[in-house]
Amino acid sequence: MIPLAVFGSVLIGLIILFFSNRKELSKPYIVVLRCNDTDSEKAAVEFLNKNVQKCTVKSKTAQRGLVELNLEVRLKEDNTDFVNALAAIGGVQSAVLVSYNGDYMG
């Protein structure tokens, strides 16, 4: 049983070592969008889905005449020029790109 325990411990240690050193290649970012209405919101989200690798809604605030979205995105490449085009979409008041490490405070 001792050789089995030693072999199992080494195997489990190697598996833990392999998975602990594995890092995701794409960095997450948060895009904060302020839109005038739902039509501009839909256009902006469609634009994001075409230009980023992954897009997930983290929060949405709706007020009269204003929709604010916080979206987590993962870029296809390290080019952030899509934010300029996003801000130029009709009905989008502002678009902000913020680096994000995955942790929420609070």
Please tell me the pTM assigned to this model. 0.69
CB proximity list for 29: less than 8 A, separation 6 or greater? 72, 73, 74, 75, 97, 98, 99, 100
Q: Domain for residue 81, yes or no? A: yes
Q: For position 79, which CATH number holds?
A: 3.30.70.260
- How many domains does the chain fold into? 1
Q: Domain for residue 38, yes or no? A: yes
Domain range holding 51?
Answer: 28-99
- pLDDT tens digits, the chain, 106 residues: what are they? 899 999 999 999 999 988 887 666 678 889 999 999 889 999 999 999 998 888 999 999 999 989 999 999 988 888 888 899 999 999 999 999 998 776 666 5
- Do 95 and 31 touch, CB atoms closer than 8 A? yes
Q: Domain for residue 62, yes or no? A: yes
